[in-house]
Amino acid sequence: MTTAIIQARMSSTRLPGKVLLDLAGQPMLARVVERAQQARTIDRVIVATTVEPEDEPIVGLCHSRGWAVSRGSRDDVLDRYYQAALSDGADSIVRITSDCPLIDPGVIDQVVAQLEAARLTESANVGAIDYASNINPKRTYPRGLDVEVFTFAALSTAWREDREPTGREHVTPFLYRNPERFRIALVESDRPEAASHRWSVDTPEDYELLRRIYEHFRDDDFTWEDVLDLLAEHPQWVDLNRHVEQKPH
């Protein structure tokens, strides 16, 4: 079973409460969940939030929408993923963050397919993939379309062995920083020039860009390439968050 786990919390440093900000009449988290649910390769979606009281609104939203929700450590996100995957009996885990409301179901399917295709050929001694993504070791998609897929076995190894604070916070560094132990695959875009775009939401400027995009489409029936076409029509929108620097991992 392939389970998408979406990490979400209210205590963002630069834009507190961003996961519940409105995008064309829906909370941002709802946009992420609903777009992930459109992926054909995903069997189940879980929102993984924290046990902190400040995250009760996230739990309330999940309950009101009938979404699966799991609660765990605020800072040890690796443990939060492990516990959610363990309780769900997941074989493969798709990692998605709640600040990516343009996450594309088609891109999710491509990355999952990369992992699953290798599993099907494992018996032929071709070798299975432990970790597939569209961001490591290089990015060819806009920031905000980030998809990472890994086996439960790989997640379990990282959970047991990774003691670095950065690894516990960002879940997957142990996997892609140890290529001698984990077999890694990269899914690349055929439009690598698009990697310069920033579609994640971490600042008010990011939110303003995403707000305009959603005000145009009004629903979730669009692809990431439709967004590229829209921004080609409104190139000034790209300047809204061009100056924003990504926080280091």
- pLDDT at residue number 118: 62
How far apart CA 19 and CA 79 sit, in angstroms, is 21
pLDDT 10s per residue in the chain (249 long)?
Answer: 999 999 999 998 889 999 999 999 999 999 999 999 999 999 999 999 999 999 999 999 999 999 999 999 999 999 999 999 999 999 999 999 999 999 999 999 999 999 987 665 555 445 589 999 999 999 999 999 999 999 999 999 999 999 999 999 999 999 999 999 999 999 999 999 999 999 999 999 999 999 999 999 999 999 999 999 999 999 999 999 998 887 665
Q: How are strands ordered across the β-sheet holding 44-50?
A: 68-72, 44-50, 2-7, 92-97, 148-151, 131-133, 184-186
How far apart CA 208 and CA 221 sit, in angstroms, is 20
Helix axes 28-37, 56-65, angle to 10 degrees: 40
**Entry pTM:** 0.94
How far apart CA 198 and CA 99 sit, in angstroms, is 11
- pLDDT at residue number 220: 93
Tell me the torsion sign for CA atoms 155, 159, 160, 162: positive
With residue 186 as reference, give the H or E element that holds it: strand 184-186
